[in-house]
Amino acid sequence: MAKKCIGVLTSGGDCPGLNAVIRGVVKTSNQLGYDCVGFLQGYEGLHDPVRYKTLTPKNTTGILNQGGTILGSTNKGRFAATVGVSDRVEIEPELLAGVQTTVEQLGIEGLVCVGGDGSLAIAQQFHEYGIPVIGVPKTIDNDLSATAFTFGFDSAIECATNALDRLHTTAASHGRIMVLEVMGRHAGWIALHAGIAGGGDVILIPEIPWTWENVCHKILSRESQGKQFTLVVVAEGAMLPGGYSVASEQTGAQAHLGGIGQVVAEEIEHRLHRETRVCVLGHLQRGGAPTTFDRVLATQYGAHAVRLIVEGKLGEMVCYQPPDINSVPITEAVNQLRQVDPDSSAVQAARALGISFGNNTGDASPFTSRVKSRVQVANHDVTSDTAMTLDAAEAALASSL
């Protein structure tokens, strides 16, 4: 009789730790007597043409600390199940039927789909169709509901923190203002954590509305204390004071965020006549080896995904609910952005240290008793209505001066 089989694929934007999940799935499957196959280029490898490779402990050895994914990945391919962040798009029935056939022909008992919210929305439609899936939450943005951490986030903030450490010394040497633009889509987790860890002075995130006056005030107040340089960390999805995010590109209704760092740097220089430089960290945040935290998390996710298949708990997404690895229905995790709570203890601690979020709370104390929830969850769809291109943002600022 043919051995039982488990499938795995990596989908969407890559991040450090994908290979650690693959290795976790392969080694656990092997221990439990399952064969393992990895589909190539995300969901694309599941159908027309079917592309996969057999995975064994031997051919996956040494990948634990490697960035990227040995299986390749596809962002927004034929299977895309959402537009923007949350609008559902039905996957073509012929595609679903094709995947079902592939799964049956290879005798796959469970397909481990590693991805962010867009990719997990695809897994959810597979589940509704009857294809046996398990989700594993991946993204540097850390914006998925139902899990305290996605793997990839810790590696991204290490990269951004490292960048701030480097910018710190050059900013101090020249007495300059340095603006660091980090990724994160519509959540400010990377900016917040890297900003705290890297000694940022101003942190601008999508969750906290801010003004130019408050940003400039912080820079001037540092100068009055003899500090001639300032580090500003801005999340790519932060909204300009006019309520618009900045997009480098517009594809249909989908805004490709990027460019706000440039706008912020130009405006500070214009208002304060201080030398200001911008650094856009970009895809450096997604490359390189995973941190130890991400290796451990990704490994546990891989092992737990196999456990769920063995126990027949299909349609679930593994999640980290400290101190345990658990699971929730995939549907609970997708289509809801997990954003930073402006009243969270991390934000309060940052304020207590004098970090500015570009807003004036008017509170005498940075500590409030308003800690409502540990996270803020939002249904958030950013389309062309709420994003403007970098050129448009610069033009709008110029005309408002």
User: Which residues carry out catalysis?
Assistant: 141
Gap between the Cα atoms of 133 and 244, Å rounded: 38
**Distance between CA atoms of residues 313 and 84, nearest Å:** 29
| 3-class secondary-structure state, position 331 | helix
Q: Is 351 annotated as a binding residue?
A: no
Q: Which residue's CB is nearer to ligand F6P, number 35 or number 141?
A: 141
For residue 137, state whether it binds ligand F6P (rule: CB under 6 A): no
Strand partners, 387: 245
Question: 17 — phi, psi (to 5°)?
Answer: 115, -10
Least CB distance from residue 123 to ligand F6P, whole Å? 16
* Least distance (Å) between residue 117 CB and ligand F6P: 9
Instruction: Return the structure tokens found at 61.
Output: 């050895």
**What's the Rg (C-alpha) of the chain?**
22
Q: Residue 75 Cβ, how far from ligand F6P at the closest point, in Å?
A: 5
User: What x-and-dash track marks residues 242-281 binding ligand F6P by CB under 6 A?
Assistant: ---------------x------------------------
In DSSP terms, 251 is beta-bridged to: 254
Q: Which stretch binds ligand F6P (CB under 6 A): 24-32, 86-94, 138-146, 207-215?
A: 138-146
The three-state secondary structure class of 303 is helix
- DSSP 8-state symbol, 353: T
Per CB under 6 A, which of residues 2..21 are in contact with ligand F6P?
A: 13
- Which of 185, 218, 338, 351 touches ligand F6P by CB under 6 A? 185
Please give the C-alpha separations between residue 256 and each of 163, 221, 246, in angstroms, as whole numbers. Answer: 23, 35, 9
Instruction: For ligand F6P, give the closer residue by CB, 236 or 316.
Output: 236
- Distance separating the N- and C-terminal Cα atoms of the chain: 76
Mode of pairing for the β-strands spanning 245-251 and 376-378: unpaired
Q: Which helix (H) or strand (E) holds 348?
A: helix 345-352
- What pairs with residue 316 in β-bridges? 134, 329
Shortest distance in whole angstroms from residue 116 CB to ligand F6P: 6
Out of 183, 191, 387, 393, point to the residue binding ligand F6P (CB under 6 A).
183
Q: Does 184 bind ligand F6P (CB under 6 A)?
A: yes
Q: What is the footprint of ligand F6P within residues 282-311 (CB under 6 A)?
A: 286
139 lies in the site for ligand F6P, by CB under 6 A:
yes
Q: For binding to ligand F6P (CB under 6 A), which residues are involved?
A: 13, 75, 116, 139-141, 183-185, 236, 257, 286
Residue list for the binding site: 13, 76-77, 116-119, 139-141, 176, 183-185, 236, 277, 283-286
